[in-house]
Chains A and B, each alone.
Chain A
Amino acid sequence: MDYFLELFLGGLTRGSIYALIALGYTMVYGIIELINFAHGEIYMIGAFTGLIVAGLLTMLGFPGISILAIAVVCAIIWAAAYGYTIEKVAYKPLRGAQRLSPLISAIGMSIFLQNYVMLSQTSDFLPFPELIPEFGFMEGLGSIMSSSELVIILATVAACIGLTLFIKFTKLGKAMRATAQNRKMAMLVGINVDMVISATFVIGSSLAAVGGVLIASHIGQINYFIGFIAGIKAFTAAVLGGIGSIPGAMLGALVLGLTEAFATGYVSSDYEDVFAFCLLVLILIFRPSGIMGKEKTQKV
């Protein structure tokens, strides 16, 4: 039973991380119908920024918890800046082009960013300091759950609730929904569509950056390559739940995280990544619109 609970909580943690990244995918897809291939790299850049800031602050002798806060804030700032710039450079000039063009541009951007980080930092695995301190009250639970897992799950829940409220009630959120529904019409009623798209990239990137710092601190090492697999998994989660739908992305991430945790726990840990890919292929073949997505009829 303890093993089951351990796997369950591990799956919950994985799912939370996937959810933080998947939200970015699903938001961007909802608005401009583009798989932002470089989103995984934003997550990676967030983690690297976190590492650099945390490393500097530790050497300057800052107290533990403030390092975490500053590292997360810096990661958000820079990841958002990267997201914004990528959209301006690689996607905006391609609006209205064939559908294949922005996708290939996104793949190019992803390759570029990976190698940019590899060349300017290093291709080795870098140790990441543990930023989340052990809580006192966790001692009884210590054997099945660590404090960093708790923080990750709570952060995701907070982010999801915050995002849902934001989209529902703020002016920008309403503009986003309107743009997602019909871009031309949104433009006609005076919504600055360019600004909305930029905002979407910024918000998605910030969430990915939070995920990047938290998971890096949880696992303890990072590498320029981590964005690729995480991005694919998060994308799987987004597709699983129905791409374009925010609650769908959360649900999909949870399903994927739990499936992976149980499959690696009870079947085999060698094929960890194979399960996610198989799930992705199966879902796309049998229910391409995902769990919560809507079937789209195509107009001629």
Chain B
Amino acid sequence: MNHQGFLSFFLTAGCDNFAQAFKRSLVAAVWFVFLTFPIMVIRVNTIEKTVHWHWERMGYIAVAVFFGSFIWRWLLARKELKKDESKEETRVESLLTRVQSHPILKYSALVILAGMAAVFPKVFDLYQTNIMISCLLYIVLGLGLNIVVGLAGLLDLGFVAFYAVGAYAYALTNMHWGINFWYMLPVGALLGALLGVLLGFPVLRLKGDYLAIVTLGFGEIIRLVLENWGDVTMGPSGISSIDRPALFGIELGVIGSTHYMYYIMIGLMILTIFSVNRLQNSRIGRAWLALREDEIACQAMGIDKMKTKLMAFALGATWAGMAGVIFAAKTTFINPASFTFWESAIILSIVVIGGMGSIRGVIAGAVILILVPEYLRDFAEFRMLLFGAIMVLVMVFRPQGLISAKRKIYKYKTNTAGAPNE
């Protein structure tokens, strides 16, 4: 499409002519000004009997909606046009694919990445390293939830419950019996898996929306219990001075243990990526994908639905349990406020925005959603607002996420023609 054609398509997308497009945008702007009028413009204080007017916000809304509605219609029209064509790759994706398909490029890219990861804490300061640790933590959590939501298609809104269980398990055992981090890491994973099976067993009969709500309910029950069972969990005040992991019995200082934690996280992330990758292409992984696509057809093919679902739940929860232990060791303080529904929502949006079922997508999602708001401190208060908006926009315009998942394609080695490759 030439330049002129693109501009006119952009301006009149979804409308007959320019005048109609202009009118529609104007109507949208007026409508949104009306819609946001009381909440955005007026602020009443009923005690001091004062009213604050923010008239300027009306102008912002009008301008933003007027221009935004052109973009909205253009994106919708583009999506409609593309519907018939096969899924197109974005530039980033095709670059990634190209890098991956050349062994030399692939390994050199991996070596560069590994080198960068190894020297990161030496180059950057403690603050940066800490942010990186939490980003890595979210990658692990995202990949764990990705097993449940992305691969098996079970919407779990209470994922943070498993995370909380891991964190509290380490915090409590450490506080009472002084148990070491390294002993608790596998125990946390095991507890996560166990709880996953326990929760999964009754609720996995439910489908789609109902499953989402029940898992949300479970997540909230766990949080409320942590908050109210003061004798054991210390209630809302939480548990403090949890031990950091020690290196072969040597106590490290703050800087040393942060660096140590960073390398532990890198190791765990590699382990997670490796395991999820292997799982994805295994028998159970393909059963998950089949389950996600069509439950009934999947059963007809002789897949044990219950076992497959339980497996997804348990394996997803395993990573959450481990991440929980690490979270407790990293922050040395936990309380129920870290395990609200919103935490689940953040992890879910990492998976959804990155690309459900795609490992690279989840990593990209975590980097974008955790790192970007950290560096844009001024935007920090808008973080959740943007999360919500991005979740809606991604679902509307790019339901497969930023980096869509690709099935592994098996090919016959022989050159006989017409080999099926799905």
Contacts and interface: CB of A to CB of B under 8 A. Distances in A.
Highest count of chain B CB atoms <10 Å: which of A51, A108, A121, A284: A108
Contact of B46 (A48, A109, A126, A271): A126
B404 interface: no
A56 interface: yes
A265 interface: no
Interface in A27-55: 34-35, 45, 48-49, 51-55
A35 to B, nearest CB: 5
Contacts of A288: 205-206, 210
Interface string A71-111: 00010001001100100011001100111111111011111
Interface in B163-217: 202-203, 205-206, 208-210, 212-214, 216-217
Interface string B345-374: 100110010000000000000000000000
Interface residues of B, number: 61
B46 A55 contact: yes
B16 interface: no
Interface stretch (B92-100, B309-317, B383-391): B383-391
A120 B224 contact: no
B110 interface: no
Contacts of B224: 271, 273-274, 277
Interface stretch (B31-39, B324-332, B406-414): B31-39
Contact of B387 (A53, A108, A126): A108
Nearest to A105: B395
B341 A228 contact: yes
B39 A45 contact: yes
Nearest to A97: B399
A13 B216 CA distance: 25
B205 A104 contact: no
Nearest to A59: B49
Highest count of chain B CB atoms <10 Å: which of A58, A93, A119: A93
B127 interface: no
Given A52-B44, A74-B38, A271-B228, A103 B155 contact: yes
B30 to A, nearest CB: 12
Contacts of B228: 270-271, 274
B42 A284 contact: no
Interface residues of A, number: 67
Contacts of A58: 46, 49
Nearest to B157: A107
B96 to A, nearest CB: 24
A117 B395 contact: no
A81 B392 contact: no
A285 B388 contact: no
A108 B221 contact: no
B101 to A, nearest CB: 29
Given A100-B155, A280-B217, A111 B384 contact: yes
Highest count of chain B CB atoms <10 Å: which of A45, A110, A117, A270: A270
B210 A284 contact: yes
Query: Which 4 interchain pairs have the tightest Cβ spacing?
Result: A108-B391, A112-B388, A55-B44, A111-B388
